[in-house]
Amino acid sequence: MKKYITDFTIIEKHIFNENYFSLTLQHPQHLPEIEAGQFVEVYIPDNKEVLLRRPISIHDVDRDANTIKLLIQKVGKGTSTLASMHEGDILNLVYPLGHGFSQQGNNPLLVGGGAGIAPLLYLSKCLKAKGITPTILLGGRTEKLIPSREEFKPFGTLALATEDGSIGEKGLVTQHPLFQGSYDHIYTCGPTPMMKAVARYAMAKGIPCEVSLENLMACGIGACLCCVVDSDQGHKCVCKEGPVFNANQLTTWINN
Ligand SMILES: Cc1cc2nc3c(=O)[nH]c(=O)nc-3n(C[C@H](O)[C@H](O)[C@H](O)COP(=O)(O)OP(=O)(O)OC[C@H]3O[C@@H](n4cnc5c(N)ncnc54)[C@H](O)[C@@H]3O)c2cc1C
Ligand code: FES
């Protein structure tokens, strides 16, 4: 799939809380094909301490408006610089990067945690457009760590779990009653222990499962090898051969 380096204009900034914000970015022309689960590498402007682009999942795509939405957690220098940007500012993206989700299954479960909920919104939108209504299970330590949850409602059956019980079921997403429903495909993105638990469950039940890894990255195009995961077929670059992998390719990673 062809990659592009393009300036986008920030047309909307939404601040959920001190941890999370979203940026809606408008492309000057028609957007190319974008798969749910692909990501962008964002150039961080005006910050000489941040030389490398930062990988961020594509949270949503609006082809009529030529926009891409990013959901971002403020964790360090790069994401804090992005949080200080305004509507009208320009952001340079390399995109669309990596391989996305397969969008298989007629009764899929989507499990997301923290910033890992980001790629699941566009996935649920694409599934809904194919006539499939996914079950979407989102989790976090507390309510404010499940941002943008309202945006999922039109695209599936939404359920929430928080460790402190501030919204949804109290406990981990894997303890939510809907987790043990009958599904024919599972897609997950979020903290590594959560994804491993989801993948172990899926593999034990024989349910095909896709995990989206968020390893540290530098180049984003398979050149620096800093993002490799130890797959069952040897080292794989998460940026180029992922970030979405079939769980059965990662049995060593999942069971460690
Ligand atoms: C394919 C992919 C998709 C991603 N999608 C999103 C997304 O949609 N929204 C979002 O908020 N974040 C996402 N991330 C994580 C995001 O890239 C990092 O949080 C970001 O690069 C941190 O940059 P920084 O300069 O703010 O932090 P730094 O100053 O570089 O680091 C601050 C802290 O964040 C940690 N950190 C840095 N990168 C990561 C990472 N990849 N995962 C976990 N911790 C990290 C560092 O170890 C350090 O503790 C994604 C990562 C990948 C690889
Ligand atoms: S980030 Fe450079 S090879 Fe993946």
pLDDT at 1 (0 to 100): 81
Ligand 1 pocket check for 254: Cβ under 6 Å: no
CA distance 73 to 22: 9
Classify residue 70 as left (phi > 0), alpha (psi -120 to 50) or beta.
beta
Q: How far is the CA of 249 from the centre of ligand 2 (A)?
A: 19
Q: How far is the CA of 132 from the centre of ligand 1 (A)?
A: 31
Mutate which of 188, 214, 236 for ligand 1 pocket (most atoms within 8 A of beta carbon): 214
DSSP tag of 46? T
* pLDDT tens digit sequence for 212-244: 999 999 888 899 999 999 999 999 999 999 999
In the beta sheet, which residues pair with residue 22?
14, 71
Indicate the class that CATH gives domain 4-97: mainly beta
Mutate which of 79, 145, 146, 221 for ligand 1 pocket (most atoms within 8 A of beta carbon): 79
> What ligand is nearest to the CA atom of residue 97?
1
- pLDDT band (50, 70, 90) for residue 46: confident
Residues with CB under 6 A from ligand 2: 217-220, 222-227, 237, 239
pLDDT at 23 (0 to 100): 98
In the beta sheet, which residues pair with residue 140?
162
Cβ(103)–Cβ(36) under 8 Å? yes
Q: How far is the CA of 94 from the centre of ligand 1 (A)?
A: 16
Ligand 1 pocket check for 121: Cβ under 6 Å: no
Mutate which of 217, 231, 245 for ligand 2 pocket (most atoms within 8 A of beta carbon): 217
Averaged confidence pLDDT in the chain: 95
Domain 108-212 in CATH 3.40.50.80? The answer is: yes
Ligand 2 atom with least separation from CA of 227: 4
Instruction: Extract the tokens encoding 229.
Output: 């995961």
Cβ(234)–Cβ(214) under 8 Å? no
Residue with CA nearest ligand 1 atom 35: 75
DSSP tag of 188? E
pLDDT at 48 over 90: no
Nearest of 220, 250, 256 to residue 238 by alpha carbon: 220
* pLDDT tens digit sequence for 59-102: 999 999 999 999 999 999 999 999 999 999 999 999 999 999 99
* pLDDT tens digit sequence for 125-171: 999 999 999 999 999 999 999 998 999 999 999 999 999 999 999 99
Residue with CA nearest ligand 1 atom 20: 54
Cβ(55)–Cβ(37) under 8 Å? no
Q: Where are the domains of the chain?
A: 4-97, 108-212
